[in-house]
Amino acid sequence: MPKKAKPAGPGTEEQPVPRKQLKAEAAGGPSPFNFDSPSGFFESFISPIKTETFFKEFWEQKPLLIQRDDPALAAYHQSLFRLSDLRSLCARGVYYGRDVNVCRCVRGKKKVLNKDGKVHFLQLRKDFDQKRATIQFHQPQRFKDELWRIQEKLECYFGSLVGSNVYITPAGAQGLPPHYDDVEPGDLLYFPRGTIHQADTPPGLAHSTHVTISTYQNSSWGDFLLDTISGLVFDAAKEDMAFRAGVPRQLLLQVETAAAARGRLSSLLRTLADRLEGSSQLLSSDMKKDFIVNRLPPYHAGDGAELSVPGGQLPRLDSLVRLRFKEHVVLTVKPDQDLSDETQEKMVYIYHSLKNRRETHMMGNEETEAHGLRFPLSHVEALKQIWNNPAISVRDLRLPTDAEKASLAVSLWTECLLQVL
């Protein structure tokens, strides 16, 4: 029988921001964006620029300014976060440093004006009005439903975490010196990673508010190589004695690695590259799990009951089924963490974000938990069938016995990941 995936390692003991049950927010009338699918949303998000044009000409290459003369769209953007929202957020309990920064750009350098502990709105407004300070609010999607809705769709589209920050700056002021971000920000104005930029509020305006939405941090080929190399070595060491042979005596005591050792290591890396060419399944170490464990849960306007209720009747052999919440589920193969290094075997892990806590999203040191199931490697083909087909009969799953087919279907159904049609 499958087992529940083990929880991730513990985080710090700092408690998350208290949060009341939120109601759906009316964000300036009907949304101008298409939320029917992740690709449909992104297409509407960058309209009138075509998706193909964006990735061919701008993504990771050069900035893009998208200007749209649409009053309804402007009203929608203005509704995402307002200065007046800070009063209710402060009443819920937010803290300097973790949730809010108060800062000014003084002689080209950032000066932080934070107090200690809990943020009080009257003091925040005083610093804003009298000290001309910028208010930076971290990860507002934890509280603002429409930003949750937007960022959840972007996480589905990019397959990467999506964070945000709000900056509210008084007229004629500047909060931060020229700087660059190590992530991919974008909202009407797109900047590739590392673009130097600054923002200020022109005179004549009461204040400016802008939201930065950022993605693709820790999503480079280097990150992916670090994630998969351990799996390649794991497979190679089981089958090739060259990987199990001892390194030269006193290698770790040498200041410089000898030419013979460098040559041997180069040869082993070439062997790994050759093995990779003939492999269709990469063992993932952390990236898939880290993404799904830390991302937003599926957006829902009500109490989210559909996330905790199995889909339809209990599946049977003759049931037609399909995967639910596919964009919030990952399948990965990796060594069984319950066994010792000497006896490790591969297992199939299914992780999902249905039970993730929105209030801890992108907060870094907050404790997170992995939700999902694990199965023997013999189940991988049946699971791929479920993944790759819009609907499939339980009886047609590629498993040796009817009992295993039914057990797999019931396990996924109980976890709310399977819909009986």
Distance of CA 277 to the CA centre of its chain: 29
Q: How far is CA 379 from CA 116, 196, 288, 383, 401, in A?
A: 53, 49, 19, 6, 12
Domain membership of residue 76 (yes or no) is no
What's the domain range around 141? 33-69+81-215
pTM of the model: 0.85
- Assess whether 268 and 294 both reside in one domain: no
- Assess whether 193 and 233 both reside in one domain: no
Axis crossing angle, helix 85-92 with helix 121-130, rounded to the nearest 10? 140
Q: What is the mean pLDDT of the chain?
A: 85
Domain count, the chain: 3
**322-346: string of b/e by CB count within 10 Å (b at 16+)?**
bbbbeebbbbbbbbbeeeeeeeeeb
- What gap in Å lies between CA 146 and CA 31, rounded to an integer? 9
Taking the CA atoms of residue 173, residue 177, residue 178 and residue 179 in that order, the dihedral angle to the nearest 10 degrees is: -130
- Assess whether 50 and 194 both reside in one domain: yes
Between residues 15 and 48, which one has the greater pLDDT? 48
Domain membership of residue 8 (yes or no) is no
Closest CA to 397 of 332, 315, 329: 315
3-class DSSP string for 108-124: CEEEECCCCCECCHHHH
- pLDDT > 90? residue 26: no
Tokens of 146: 């429409």
Those residues whose C-beta lies under 8 Å from the C-beta of residue 416, and which sit 6 or more positions away, are 307, 308, 309, 310, 311, 324, 325, 354
Lowest mean pLDDT among 101-115, 216-230, 271-285, 349-363: 271-285
Domain at 391, CATH number: 3.90.930.40
Amino acid residing at 245: A
pLDDT at 120: 95
User: What is the biggest distance separating any 2 CA atoms in the chain, rounded to whole angstroms?
Assistant: 74
- pLDDT > 70? residue 37: yes
- Assess whether 138 and 243 both reside in one domain: no
- Assess whether 328 and 258 both reside in one domain: no
Domain at 177, CATH number: 2.60.120.650
Domain membership of residue 209 (yes or no) is yes
- Assess whether 130 and 113 both reside in one domain: yes
Q: How far is CA 19 from CA 14, 272, 331, in A?
A: 15, 49, 32
Which ranges of 279-401 would DSSP assign to H, the alpha helix? 287-294, 380-388
Lowest mean pLDDT among 5-9, 137-141, 211-215, 365-369: 5-9
- Assess whether 244 and 302 both reside in one domain: no
pLDDT at 7: 40
- Assess whether 97 and 197 both reside in one domain: yes
In degrees, rounded to 5, the angle at the alpha carbon of residue 299 between the alpha carbons of residues 293 and 304 is 95
Domain at 264, CATH number: 1.10.10.1500
Q: Are 2 and 377 in contact (CB under 8 A)?
A: no
Q: Are 119 and 96 in contact (CB under 8 A)?
A: yes
- Positive or negative torsion for Cα 95, 85, 104, 190: positive
Between residues 207 and 273, which one has the greater pLDDT? 273
Those residues whose C-beta lies under 8 Å from the C-beta of residue 46, and which sit 6 or more positions away, are 54, 66, 190
> What is the pLDDT confidence band of residue 193, given thresholds at 50, 70 and 90?
confident
- What gap in Å lies between CA 418 and CA 421, rounded to an integer? 10
Rg value, the chain, Cα = 25
Axis crossing angle, helix 71-80 with helix 145-158, rounded to the nearest 10? 100
> What is the pLDDT confidence band of residue 11, given thresholds at 50, 70 and 90?
very low
- In the listed set 188, 215, 242, which residue is the last one of a domain according to the structure? 215
- Assess whether 46 and 156 both reside in one domain: yes
